[in-house]
Structure 1
Amino acid sequence: MKSAVETLEPTRAKLTVEVSYEELKPSIDHAYSHIGEQVNVPGFRKGKVPARIIDQRVGRAAVIEHAVNDALPGLYRDAVAETGIKPLGQPEVEVTEVPNVTGPVGGQLTFTAEVDVRPEVTLPDLSTYELTVDTVEVTDEDVEQRLESLRERFGTLVGVDRAAAEDDFVSIDLSATVGEEEVDSVTGTSYQVGSGTMLEGLDDAITGLSAGETATFTSTLVGGERAGEEATVTVTVNSVKERELPAADDEFAELASEFDTIEELRSDLREQIAKDKNANRAVAARDLLLERLREEIDFPLPKNAVDAEIKAHLQAEGKAEDDPHGEEVREDTEKAMRDQFILDELAESFGVQVAQNELLEFLLSTSRQYGMDPNEFIQSASQAGQIPVFAGELARNKALAVALRKVTVLDGAGEAVDLSEFIGSDEDDVVVSGESADSGESADSGESADSGESAESADSGESADSADSADSAESAESAPSAD
């Protein structure tokens, strides 16, 4: 098989593939066998019909067409591997020559495949990068706020005979009317004053009301068939309770932790806060690095791939292809795709690979985020062909963590910041750095699972967007078929 590549545009290429008759013969033989099992020819058993009889009854052209369609997906994949192009999406295939359908056996198969390709991304020298993050300082106020949150977890609600104030818990009845029609109502629902989790204006209306008192206000409905309409809302307070916190003493320390004294608990909280702030610095450094890469690396985006993502987005929302919302999401789609290409280049440059156990742990973590049973989630993802998407997302997260090791990270005082606890180190990994990225497997660098904000695992929303935007486009080696 001979393959040649012609660059049509920076993000589009044309493959020309020539396949000899000998190379295509296994597919031709298979075509004869498959057709022979389906035709009835007097005097011959199914599957035993000679090729010359099939040529007479069905036609050699039908056999060649069957063989070409059967072989084309694999031949395309082989050509992609041989030429090293990085296709995106489905190719446009045109068969320009087929083996002889009349006359002597022979000839060759020739086809072309035009396809969008991943743009060339030139990475900068990361060793020249300096990123500045905040200096970590844990104040007494930080510790007391964390201790207050812990005490709230062990607090109890106590009824009070006074007007409702911020942070109180109230039991309320609500009714909403539009004109003379009551459109919604609830009774005995619990609400924390100041939380802002229900209707706009509710907090102001409740504040200052005692049990048995009623207030009326105007608000915009946020749910149901009348969502978006202005309604008159009546609220009645049934009861007012405040949260009574346990005293911050040794007894509480024993109740809420493994420590015997409140000072030991405070000391542990201080360490936790310091660790969390360091984890946040890792996230901040990661975001700074990605933003700088966005600013300094310029390359064209494949328009067809972008348009395909926007189309898929509109279809998911049940909207037409020409819906104006498509242009509204174009900027986000292009940003997500650009990020993916940068991160993919980083992953290839550093030889980042995803081990099976890493992918499994990532899938389990993702299933928990969606509140799904892990087995059902993995089965559903597999059936939908999403496992490679998740693997790609994980590889990109790891690549950014590895890239972060190559830059210099300083704090506000100009001191070097060690983020290895959150992004790992090259000593822990089998990573081929620099230009040679043919082998190597990066260890999982996100050990700060408790913080949930390691540089490798944070910002899952953005990662998910990237995976959705161009991973589906980059399942490029899916099977084309001849027209």
Structure 2
Amino acid sequence: DHHAQLTVQVEADRLEGIKRRAASRLARRVKIPGFRPGKAPYPVIVRHLGEAAILEEAIELLVAEIYPEVIKETGINPYGPGKLENVSATEPLTLEFSVPLKAEAVLGDYHSIKIAYELEQVADQDVNDVLEDLRERHAIIEPVDRAAQVGDLVTMKLRATGLAADAEPAVELIPERSSSVIIRPEDASSKPGAWPFPGFSHHLIGMRAGDEKLLEYTFPEDSLYEALRGVQAQFYVKIEAVKSRQLPELDDDFAKTVGEYDTLEALKADIRESLEEQARTAYHKVYDEKILDAAIEQTTFKYPPEMVDDEVDTLINELQQRLERQGMDIDLYLKSRGIDMKAFREEVRPIAEDRIKRALFLVEFGKAEKVEVKPEELEQEAMQKGIEPVLINVREKDQMKQQKAYLGASLSMGEGSESIPFLQPGGAMEYALTTAIKKLSVTDKPYVAMIVGHGEPTLDQLFQVMQSMSVLYNFQAFKMDSTITDIPDNYKTIAIVNPTDSIPPAHLAAFDRFLERGGKVYVGINRVNGDLQNSYGTAVSTGLETWLRNKGIEVDEYFVTDANCGSVTVQQVQGMMRYSSQVSFPYLPVSLKFADHPVTRGLESVYFPFVSPVIFKGDTSQFRFTPVVFSSEKASMLRAPQFFDIRKQWTQQDFPQKNITLAAAIEKKESDGWKPMMFVAGDGDFAINGPREQAQQLMPDNVNLMVNAIDWLSDETGLIELRTRGIATRPIDTTLEDSTKTLLKWVNFLLPILLIMLFGVYRFWRMKAIRNRRMEERYE
């Protein structure tokens, strides 16, 4: 089992010394009549506690002292801590250790491995399947008053319970929630992995709104849902709505709506190229795995059982984290499968051993092939991955030199990789790392729609937001006109940003239906508009404010003014001289106060020109309203219209309010907890760059706030909880008085000296106490 058995005999003199130390230590923990703690003579301690107790304590001290010596003397390379297996109290005292040894791997003739390379070509049908999927994502959906049929979208309340073959009682697999499913043709509906089970949607044919049904299904042992293999499940279905789907024609106009394609053939060519790249990546992964498996098969491994146990622990911890993100725990998972932890550990043990073998092989392979990278190759690779060099000071032979260093990390998954510079302006490692993980792991990027058609900005006018969002999401414009009655279900989140025209009731109703189907909504609304040229501010009404009010969210026609604010440029003339000056303008608040929330965690400042307060008056039992961005401690609210007096001298009395909510996150109560529903900001254009020819570069956190809000609404990976863009800065205080600086200088000078003196006094008395104790022992 790859252990070393060590036998150690302890000399009598050494054992006697250890026993006296053990007796002294025990005497400090127990009360011996007639003696202060730790001051009783050795014979008295033996009579009071017994030889056995002292020997047990002595062995504990001896093991801690002698074990490192034995490891060093024998020269063995342990994997982990050894175990004391036997103690023989007969003279001489003998200790027997079992020590797990470091794992070893002896490579086979891996150069002889030959596996044919057979990459399949992308078929026309594969391209057509993608086109069909795109058509379905752009389908026009309308409610119908009839029974469900193939091709319909059915919205229902769904709940599921499960019972493993030998488990009692049943456990909840799916808490009751609203779900939507498309009734596919029978061959597509019955594919392995279809949700929630193959053929489910065909049980809905003929059902109408209000109908209920109980379905039973036993997941096979080869089910793609590993956690549900062998589970007998019951699905409770109640139909909420039946909707027809009208797919768009497959022509050049459709290609233009999908992206920047002039013709359908251009779209097909791009799809084929993307599929070929995906096929190549997937095949290379499989091909590399085959070669690696063959090389591992030729390799001889030795590793202790403790190493396997540790890897099993790692696998279980990883599973626990995945289950927690899905709202489950390990106990519920085991219960649903009808097994206990002991059986589960045995089940994953082969997986742990496989991981160990792979890691050991790769280490030895690197050594055998002398895998080394030259400095110039590292430098070239770093530059290609966007990692800039920094100069660091290093000392060599008492001389200080400057050398280039490349600080970064590389994250790999399959054949994909992402590089993260450690020194990034305006970012933090957690944000960069979680973004990289999502870029590599999310192969099917969620769709986010930017609503246009009511005077909203175009995507070009949000180019900084677009640059950040396009990394993780398919961020598209969705134009709403008189022909649009609903929002396609392929969109995870919609963003309604600064509409300036009235929004038709039919479109507001479409927003409602989108929310009812589980969609998420980001709202950036302007209730007031400031005109600096004419020094006047007016109220804005588009109908969106009424839509929000019906949900208990009030964004009224008030300007929030704040002592912490931006400034405007004022032109002044004196005689023949014309000059400009910057004047603080409280109608342009700069927020520095944020809640500890995934959307705002780490933000430092957001510029909110002409912002309005966000207030909640809704049902707190069903909705959770969390203010996330606030005004300063000196703020006020002024109702529109307002005349702007640029030269007004503002005083403390002008700011009687504090901590006014400027943006908020709203969650809805579901059967399995609170879920993100909306994000509302009282300023619609804080993240808008403007037209390209007049575009302004925004403060980083203005962009970060909108991106984080949409990410919070759309994210299902759980990584948003780890993310932060914040870098805390602590500038030197330049306002210190000279007397304070002098005091700090003397404190810095004298405090270390004082601490050294105190340590010297302590050490003197400690050493004196040790000498006294030794003299007592000799006297005894």
Give the TM-score, by structure 2 length: 0.33
Q: Which has the larger radius of gyration?
A: 2
Higher relative contact order (CA 8 A, sep 6+): 1
* Higher percent of residues as helix: 1
